[in-house]
């Protein structure tokens, strides 16, 4: 089985026998959904392959290839009347250069559109009876000539626009004034979409399908293009891109048919932890696997017979910049912390579907804005709806979680010396179970940092954040906060990846409790002055340790059964304010 990692050309994929998860059964639904569709998904989520599939299905030039391309797929058994009936024109705005002065960017956009028009003229030369006049400095006029040249031909145009917001987002991050010049007033990008709107009003363009990452640019050009129908939150199209768990399980079973040194069940559990969790509709039946990451894993597994050492494909790590941006907004850091903590999903009244650059750069940044932005960038996903009809979101998986951890580490412990020491003490704990150096570091270095930040909480979440950000290691562990078991939710578990059990690393579970100084009956100075031996025998501390130990013991039993562990180490940890830590090894 050949996996098409990084391959988005449908013709090559089918023609050369690559793995393809059939989504052609959705074509009739897409035709019924509308004539001008907008479909938003995070980066590298299979949007380009979807457009390529539509291109091959509708292109009049691909009619003779229909049986070869679609004969074994769902749509091949029951095609729609529109198949192979269109001239297809495809624009890919990720190819538009976003660097340089505004005039250079505008020239790059004109050039791209003219290049596509030239390709269109070459592709359909046999049908054209009138010439298409190309105007190098005015692609809108070139498009007008194309529409005139095709007006007398029975075939209409299907326009596919990939990454509609790609270069505009790059411009936005670099130079707000240039972005506004492109989108506001008579800006060129806005004018382009006004031309698309006009062309689709009975002037030759019959269908339009647009993909992108977020609705920000779309909101800013609303008056230029206000006829598109958003389908990206429709439950019917939740899995239009991405893989379901059943599909991943079936592929793993096929790979294991000829014998494998790995277990399909364990491989599925690993992939679920790292790659699953995306939902794009509040009523979607199930969550999805990121297709690029899943193909990265499956291709490596097929070629090498074991899991990739790095579970995060660096091509998917670009959303770090988005987390940096949100963390710098008022209360943005707190949003990242609460998302990472996992105790309660982030809750907002409703997902923002339209917000423009003024919201992004100037308006009040409330939680609805920040959660919505993180959702569109693929580092938060839908959980469901509360009893008060609010929408809830969480981090989808361990790969996305690693980006949060990385950002908070940068904020809280930016010094090189801290990073080097963290690696040493984290390694020692994971190899030996010796908790004291880690707790000493948190007390002397981490608590002073966290206690000075503008948080409205000082509780178990703070303690958990300290341990999670110091111990996070997806190279060796499936590390999950609030892992659900049949006995409750584990605060923090570090379960060695099945493919990493040959290394010296312990399976660990940590349960946290918090005692405020008022509950303790001591001042901060008094608490710091006492030894751990003195603190650990105080009645209120004993009670909290007993509570944490009882939970850690129950969770430990569940995790041993779930992962067939023989040497799981469990710890009950109690924070005394943001001053001291005491703990107990759970036998």
Highest mean pLDDT among 60-64, 318-322, 560-564, 574-578: 60-64
What pLDDT, on the 0 to 100 scale, is given for residue 214?
85
List Cα–Cα distances, 142 to 94, 294, 528, 536, in angstroms: 21, 41, 75, 79
Q: What pLDDT, on a 0 to 100 scale, did the predictor assign at position 363?
A: 53
358-404 per-position pLDDT tens digit: 666 665 568 888 899 899 888 999 988 888 999 999 999 998 988 89
Q: What is the pLDDT of residues 52-102, one digit of tens each?
A: 999 999 999 999 999 999 999 999 999 999 999 999 999 999 999 888 899
- For the record, the structure tokens of 226 come out as 């206000």
pLDDT in tens, 136-181: 999 999 999 999 999 989 999 999 999 998 888 777 767 778 888 8
Which pLDDT belongs to residue 365?
67
Could you state, in order of their start, the residue ranges of all structural domains in the chain? Answer: 10-237, 245-311, 414-587
pLDDT tens profile 565-583:
999 999 999 999 989 999 9
Residue with the bigger pLDDT between 273 and 318: it is 273
What is the DSSP secondary-structure string of 412-465?
A: H--SHHHHHHHHHHHHHHHHH---HHHHHHIIIIIHHHHHTS--S--SHHHHHH
Instruction: Look at residue 171 in the predicted model and tell me its pLDDT.
Output: 79
Query: In this predicted model, what pLDDT tens digit does every residue of 428-449 receive, in sequence order?
Result: 999 999 999 999 999 998 888 8
Question: 408 to each of 299, 358, 468, how far by Cα in Å?
Answer: 32, 27, 10
> From CA 257, how far away is CA 529, in angstroms rounded?
63
Under the banding of pLDDT at 50, 70 and 90, the label for residue 343 is low
Q: Are strands 36-40 and 229-230 parallel, antiparallel or unpaired?
A: parallel
CATH of domain 10-237: 3.40.50.300
- Phi/psi at 377 (nearest 5 deg)? -80, -5
The model scores a pTM over 0.85: yes
Residue 440 is predicted with a pLDDT of: 95
* Cα–Cα distance, 179 to 107 (Å, whole number): 15
Q: Given this model, what pLDDT does residue 377 score? A: 86
- Does the pLDDT value for residue 224 go beyond 70? no
Contact assessment for residue 396 and residue 278, using Cβ atoms and an 8 Å cutoff: yes
Q: Which of 246-250, 259-263, 458-462, 582-586 has the lowest mean pLDDT?
A: 458-462
In contact, 128 and 121? CB cutoff 8 Å: yes
- For the stretch 439-496, pLDDT in tens is 999 999 888 887 777 555 567 788 888 999 999 998 899 987 666 655 567 889 999 9
pLDDT band at residue 319 under the 50/70/90 scheme: low
Q: How many CB atoms are closer than 10 A to CB 223? A: 11
Write down the pLDDT at residue 419. 80
pLDDT tens digit string along 203-216?
999 999 999 998 87
Highest mean pLDDT among 186-195, 485-494, 539-548: 539-548
The per-type count for the chain, helices as H runs and strands as E runs, is 27, 13
What CA–CA distances, in Å, run from 230 to 16, 35, 99, 214, 347? Answer: 34, 11, 30, 12, 23
**Taking all residues of the chain, what is their mean pLDDT, rounded to a whole number?**
90
Mean pLDDT of 525-550: 96
């Amino acid at each position: 089985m050949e996996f098409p990692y990084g391959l988005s050309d449908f013709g090559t994929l089918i023609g050369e026998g690559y793995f393809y998860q059939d989504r052609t059964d959705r074509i009739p639904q897409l035709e019924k959904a509308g004539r001008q569709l907008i479909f938003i998904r995070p980066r590298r989520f299979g949007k380009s392959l979807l457009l390529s599939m539509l291109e091959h299905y509708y292109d009049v030039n691909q009619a003779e290839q229909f049986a070869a391309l679609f004969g074994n797929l769902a749509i091949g058994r029951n095609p729609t009347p529109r198949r192979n009936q269109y001239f297809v024109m495809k624009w890919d705005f990720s190819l538009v250069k976003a660097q340089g002065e505004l005039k250079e960017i505008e020239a790059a956009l004109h050039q791209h559109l003219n290049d596509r028009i030239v390709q269109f003229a070459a592709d359909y030369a046999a049908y054209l009876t009138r010439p298409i006049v190309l105007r190098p400095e005015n692609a809108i006029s070139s498009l007008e000539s194309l529409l005139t040249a095709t007006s007398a031909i029975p075939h209409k145009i299907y326009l596919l626009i990939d990454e509609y917001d790609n270069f505009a987002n790059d411009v936005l991050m670099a130079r707000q004034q240039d972005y506004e010049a492109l989108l506001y007033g008579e800006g060129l990008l806005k004018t382009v979409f006004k031309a698309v709107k006009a062309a689709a009003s009975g002037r030759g363009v019959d269908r339009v399908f647009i993909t992108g990452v977020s609705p920000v640019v779309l909101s800013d050009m609303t008056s230029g293009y206000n006829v598109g129908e958003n389908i990206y939150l429709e439950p019917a199209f939740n899995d239009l891109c991405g893989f379901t768990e059943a599909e991943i399980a079936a592929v793993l079973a096929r790979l294991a048919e000829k014998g494998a040194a790995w277990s399909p069940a364990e491989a599925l559990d690993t992939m679920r932890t790292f790659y699953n969790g995306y939902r794009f509709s509040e009523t979607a039946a199930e969550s999805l696997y990121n297709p690029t990451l899943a193909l990265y894993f499956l291709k490596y597994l097929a070629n090498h017979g074991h899991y990739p050492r790095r579970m995060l494909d660096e091509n998917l790590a670009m959303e770090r910049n988005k987390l940096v941006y949100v963390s710098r907004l008022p209360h943005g850091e707190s949003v990242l912390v609460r998302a990472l903590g996992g105790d309660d999903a982030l809750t907002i009244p409703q997902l923002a579907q339209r917000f423009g650059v003024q919201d992004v750069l100037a308006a009040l940044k409330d939680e609805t804005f920040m959660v919505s932005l993180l959702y569109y960038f693929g580092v938060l996903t839908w959980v469901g709806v509360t009893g008060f009809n609010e929408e809830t979101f969480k981090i989808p998986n361990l790969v996305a979680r690693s980006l949060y951890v990385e950002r908070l580490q940068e904020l809280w412990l930016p010094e090189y010396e801290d990073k080097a020491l963290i690696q040493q003490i984290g390694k020692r704990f994971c190899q030996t179970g010796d908790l004291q150096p880690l707790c000493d570091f948190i007390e002397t270095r981490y608590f002073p940092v966290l206690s000075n930040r503008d948080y409205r909480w000082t509780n178990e979440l703070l303690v958990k954040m300290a341990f999670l950000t110091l111990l996070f290691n997806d190279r060796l562990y499936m590390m999950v906060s609030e892992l659900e078991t049949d006995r409750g939710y584990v605060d923090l578990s570090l379960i060695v990846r099945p493919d990493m059990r040959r290394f010296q690393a312990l399976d660990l579970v940590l349960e946290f409790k918090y005692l405020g100084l008022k509950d303790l009956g001591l001042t901060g100075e008094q608490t710091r002055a006492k030894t751990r031996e003195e603190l650990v025998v105080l009645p209120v501390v004993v009670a909290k340790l007993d509570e944490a130990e009882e939970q850690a013991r129950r969770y430990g039993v569940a995790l041993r059964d779930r992962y067939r562990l023989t040497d799981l180490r469990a710890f009950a940890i109690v924070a005394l304010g943001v001053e001291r830590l005491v703990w107990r090894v759970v036998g």
